[in-house]
């Protein structure tokens, strides 16, 4: 084979008049009056190649045999196209190669779908033939963007004295967080490793070892239900530092992301990023990861409706709940009664019993609950800044249900009403998180982030008496309504870590069994430390303008955590199970 001169998508005026060699796949072949045109594609783009029997009959005859996705090598002179033949939509649209030689390096079956961006093929087919799907320009561009993002991140961290250190994939299963992926040990019968959900404890131990600044772009694994922004195996940018405050860690994270945005998107973001507390985020947006690209906020109307004769509102307030409203400006004509009924069904998944609503018309408030609010209609209109043509939606229940339901409605309406400026990248810090959440099913408190998070110094005494009021030195970074990452200061004293385990329901014995190695390490001069982990897949997805992280991962799993291409997961041989001392008792197909 002849050495390639340049990528197809990078032919330029500098090479005009020179004989060049290109290699790639046949995107398209056209026979126009005895002259054959082939669009030759590689990872950088497409170049047009012309086969004229007057220049080389032998090359023309071989080109006549080429079909879509054949792998070929061509040699010829790069020339300018005639003015009327220039294609301004192509990066290389003013050039063409007058071929004098061609070699078919491999043939190809007819692909199950067209290798182009607009092919309307189903996701399962795309994933079964992922190696073909990745040839599409959009998929190639997404993975190249991923590379540029990770390169930018590494450069920033390398330049700020972080050390890239690998941590183990085979670790110990712990009861907190999502389900672990377990790996049976052949050597230790009946024992299992767990694949890491995060390198959390190992990176903390590295701080105890004195490395000061650690990072790793690391694969992690969680056996949880999937959605558009989750995969069973995923990649995170993992950082840990010693002797830094939350604000210093946040500043470094901002600088890193600003560099990424500048180098990969050509966008200068404003620093520092806005900061709001968790409580403020929930109060204003009904979400701990609010999309701030549009305004619509939750409005507390408890004072307005506290005396109205509407049982739903009264019961909520009497039980310590919230009554809040959303105002969808100018949307009254866009939503019928049936549409509102559908929204009411939608919010039921968040625990809400329904969605009350009113439309603002010339002669007042109209809707199913208007008769209950006649006496406070003027106050309600003022409180919600309502105008004719608006539609008001109400939530009345426990605070967490009202927040979840109206927050979800807000996000849905933002999309349906076209309120979101898709060109914006709105970063936001959500700080001052509660340390715990109460798990109704388990009947106990669980960590809002993880059990190694440092409580606010002023709240430590509340661990024993009122855990619900304890706040954490924790912070999440949000981008356009997605949690991009989360971090915190960590507990670095044994007594406090043991108290944390006790509050979470661990006995001394169970804490020692699960986390004894960490507790022991805390006896040996553990420094104050903290860090953050960012979801790389999610970051790339957002910067690529995609809606599903599968579009920015080379070989992802589908919604059932399976790989249609390799048929993983699969059954294994009886011998393999015997060697692992495993007996599979039943399989539900």
Binding-site residues sit at 176, 222-224, 231, 449, 483, 490, 535-538
The C-alpha angle 520, 522, 523, rounded to 5 degrees, equals 70
Give the integer Cα–Cα distance in Å for 324 and 361.
21
Phi, psi of 303 (to 5 degrees): -65, -30
Phi, psi of 490 (to 5 degrees): -110, 155
Could you write out the three-class secondary structure of 382-409?
A: HHCCCCCCCEEEEEEECHHHHHHHHHHH
Q: Are 447 and 488 a contacting pair, CB within 8 Å?
A: no
Nearest to 29 by CA among 37, 19, 40, 21: 37
Contacts of 200 (CB under 8 A, 6+ apart): 450, 452
The residue behind tokens 């026979």 is 31
DSSP letters for 334-358: G--HHHHHHHHHHHGGGT-S--EEE
Q: Which residues are part of a known binding site for ATP? A: 222-224, 231, 483, 535-538
Nearest to 329 by CA among 381, 377, 382, 389: 389
Phi, psi of 28 (to 5 degrees): -155, 145
β-pair type (213-221, 163-164): parallel
Structure tokens at 191: 């024992």
Contacts of 53 (CB under 8 A, 6+ apart): 34, 35, 60
Q: Are 347 and 324 a contacting pair, CB within 8 Å?
A: no
Where do runs of H (alpha helix) occur along 130-199? 130-133, 137-159
Q: Which residues are part of a known binding site for L-aspartate? A: 176, 222, 449, 490
578 CB neighbour count, 10 Å cutoff? 10
Contacts of 189 (CB under 8 A, 6+ apart): 581
> Is residue 271 classed as helix, strand or coil in its secondary structure?
coil
**Which long-range contacts does 376-385 make (Cβ < 8 Å, 24+ apart)?**
376/304, 376/305, 376/308, 379/304, 380/301, 380/304, 380/305, 380/325, 383/299, 383/301, 383/304, 383/325, 384/299, 384/301, 384/325, 384/327, 385/327
The residue behind tokens 């990424």 is 260
Give the integer Cα–Cα distance in Å for 54 and 519.
81
Strand ranges for 130-264 from DSSP E: 163-164, 182-184, 192-194, 213-221, 233-242
Nearest to 218 by CA among 164, 297, 272, 285: 164
* Bridge partner residues of 300 (DSSP): 324
Contacts of 550 (CB under 8 A, 6+ apart): 123, 127, 231, 556, 558
515: left (phi over 0), alpha (psi -120 to 50) or beta: alpha
């Amino acid at each position: 084979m002849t050495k390639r001169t340049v990528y197809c998508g990078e032919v330029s005026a500098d090479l005009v008049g020179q004989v060049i060699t290109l290699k790639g796949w046949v995107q398209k072949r056209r026979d126009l009056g005895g002259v054959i045109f082939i669009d030759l594609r590689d990872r950088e783009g497409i170049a047009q190649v012309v086969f004229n029997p007057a220049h080389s009959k032998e090359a023309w005859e071989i080109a006549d045999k080429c079909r879509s996705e054949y792998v070929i090598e061509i040699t010829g002179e790069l020339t300018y196209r005639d003015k009327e033949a220039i294609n301004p939509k192509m990066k290389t649209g003013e050039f063409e190669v007058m071929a004098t030689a061609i070699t078919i390096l491999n043939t190809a079956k007819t692909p199950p779908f067209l290798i182009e961006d607009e092919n309307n093929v189903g996701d399962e087919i795309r994933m079964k033939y992922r190696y073909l799907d990745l040839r599409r320009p959009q998929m190639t561009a997404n993975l190249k963007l991923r590379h540029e993002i990770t390169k930018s991140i590494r450069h920033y961290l390398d330049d700020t004295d972080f050390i890239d250190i690998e941590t183990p994939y085979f670790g110990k299963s712990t009861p907190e967080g999502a389900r672990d992926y377990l790996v049976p040990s052949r050597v230790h019968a009946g024992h299992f490793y767990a694949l890491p959900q995060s390198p959390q404890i190992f990176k903390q131990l590295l701080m105890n070892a004195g490395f000061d600044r650690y990072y790793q772009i690391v694969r992690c694994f969680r056996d949880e239900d999937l959605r558009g922004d989750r995969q069973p195996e995923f990649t995170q940018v993992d950082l840990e530092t010693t002797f830094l405050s939350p604000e210093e860690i946040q500043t470094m994270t901002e600088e890193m992301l600003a560099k990424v945005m500048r180098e990969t998107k050509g966008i200068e973001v404003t620093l520092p990023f806005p900061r709001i507390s968790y409580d403020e985020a929930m109060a204003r947006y009904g979400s701990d990861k609010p999309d701030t690209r549009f305004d619509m906020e939750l409005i507390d109307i408890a004072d307005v409706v506290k005396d109205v004769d509407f049982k739903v509102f009264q019961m909520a307030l009497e039980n310590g709940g919230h009554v809040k409203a959303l105002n969808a400006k100018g949307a009254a004509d866009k939503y019928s009664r049936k549409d509102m009924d559908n929204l009411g069904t939608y919010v039921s998944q968040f625990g809400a019993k329904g969605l009350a609503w009113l439309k603002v018309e010339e002669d007042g408030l109209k809707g199913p609950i208007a008769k209950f609010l006649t006496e406070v209609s003027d106050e309600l209109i003022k409180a919600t800044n309502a105008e004719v043509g608006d539609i008001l939606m109400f939530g009345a229940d426990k605070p967490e249900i009202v927040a979840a339901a109206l927050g979800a409605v807000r996000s849905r309406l933002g999309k349906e009403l076209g309120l979101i400026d898709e060109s914006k990248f709105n970063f936001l810090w959500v700080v001052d998180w509660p340390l715990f959440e109460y798990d109704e099913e388990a009947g106990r408190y669980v960590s809002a982030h993880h059990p190694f998070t440092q409580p606010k110094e002023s709240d430590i005494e509340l661990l024993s008496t009122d855990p619900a009021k304890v706040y954490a030195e924790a912070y999440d970074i949000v981008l356009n309504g997605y949690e991009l990452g989360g971090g915190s200061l960590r507990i670095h004293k044994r007594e406090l870590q043991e108290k944390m385990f006790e509050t979470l329901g661990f006995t001394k014995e169970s804490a020692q069994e699960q986390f004894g190695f960490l507790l022991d390490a805390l006896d040996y001069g553990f420094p104050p430390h903290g860090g953050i982990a960012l979801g790389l897949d999610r970051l790339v997805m957002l910067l690529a303008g995609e809606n599903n992280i599968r579009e920015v991962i080379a070989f992802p799993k589908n919604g059932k955590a399976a790989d249609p291409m390799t048929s993983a997961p699969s059954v294994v041989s009886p011998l393999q199970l015997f060697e692992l001392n495993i007996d599979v008792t039943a399989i539900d197909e």
